[in-house]
Amino acid sequence: MVKSLIDAVVKIFIDAGHGGTDPGAVGNGLQEKNVNLQIATRIRDMLVNEYNGVSVLMSRTGDQTLSLTQRTNAANAWGADFLLSVHINAGGGTGYEDFIYPGVGAPTTTYQNLIHEEIMKLVNFRDRGKKTANFHMLRESRMPALLTENGFIDNSEDAAKLKTSSFIENIARGHVNGIVRCFGLTRKTSAIYHTVVSGDTVYSLSQRYGSTIQQIRSWNNLDSNYTIVVGQVLLVAGGPSSSTSSSNMGKPAPKGDMKTTSIVDYLNSIKQDSSYANRARLAKQHGINNYSGTAAQNTQLLNKLRK
């Protein structure tokens, strides 16, 4: 543990590089701004949903145009304990690297070492090393700061990896594991969480204490094509409170917004993936065939999920 904040909240500022009119690097059908936001959002969700004593502020949560000064000003004004700026590289290389400002010492160098180590454990990228650079985000921030370059968008092999949701999850998880070590964060224990993977598609769910693999498959209509990895969190769908009785253990988490007529808003309210791909998966599980996202199908799916 590098830093322990007793009875305090660690404030992590996450910057998704570029955005809006600035796409960043472009290549192989990808725009850097979009991949940056994917990774940054998953890092935020993992930290907030899985760990105690952490608060996250993002420079952007959508496709906004922001100057570098606006980003560092926001982090400085908030009083962040750590700034993380997420990027994708370009220029003909391959692999992962990260940067801190030249000449800084601990704890910044320690944070870089830990996060770099954890990312390299989980991603199949060439290790380009730990580096320094006179980047605005590193120079103008008043707190320890790290800028990560997660592969090369103009390298076809790197780009192919960045197009898979499972690889994005691993990149985000590596960042999170490093931050957890940096600040000694403790994991929430209100529920047991599971990752569900089918090919390159990653789904997530949570079930209450006492749930078995067989129950998970039954509740979610999962056949043997889905691999269930116990003990990891991707998206949190809730968990039991301290007053949950043993008779309720092993049952799905309670439902969310019962008033909305939007399937997307409803899924978001229970912290589930609201993408078209996941809605199609849920529709198939609930007997809605040939799902195409029509209003009637979405209403039907919404009603089934609320039962």
Tokens of 53: 């004593």
Whether residue 149 lies in the annotated active site: yes
pLDDT at position 207, please?
42
Burial of 87 (0-12, 13-18, 19+ CB in 10 A): buried
Q: Which CATH number fits domain 10-183: 3.30.70.100, 3.40.50.300, 3.40.630.40, 2.40.10.10?
A: 3.40.630.40
Phi and psi angles of residue 201, each rounded to the nearest 5 degrees, phi first:
-95, 130
List the domain boundaries for the chain: 10-183, 189-254, 256-307
| Global pTM exceeds 0.75 | no
Strand order in the sheet with 145-152: 54-58, 10-16, 82-89, 145-152, 96-100, 127-132
Phi and psi angles of residue 54, each rounded to the nearest 5 degrees, phi first:
-135, 135
The residue whose two tokens read 């707190």 is 143
Q: Which residues contact 124 (CB under 8 A, 6 or more apart)?
A: 161, 167
pLDDT per residue as tens, the chain (307 positions): 444 433 468 999 999 999 999 999 999 999 999 999 999 999 999 999 888 899 999 999 999 999 999 999 999 999 999 999 999 999 989 999 999 999 999 999 999 999 999 999 999 899 999 999 999 999 999 999 999 999 999 999 999 999 998 899 999 999 999 999 999 998 886 444 445 544 444 444 444 334 455 555 555 555 555 555 544 433 333 332 222 222 233 334 445 777 778 888 888 777 777 777 778 888 888 888 887 778 888 888 888 887 7
One of 32, 50, 118, 149 is an active-site residue; which one?
Answer: 149
271 neighbors 235 (Cβ within 8 angstroms): yes
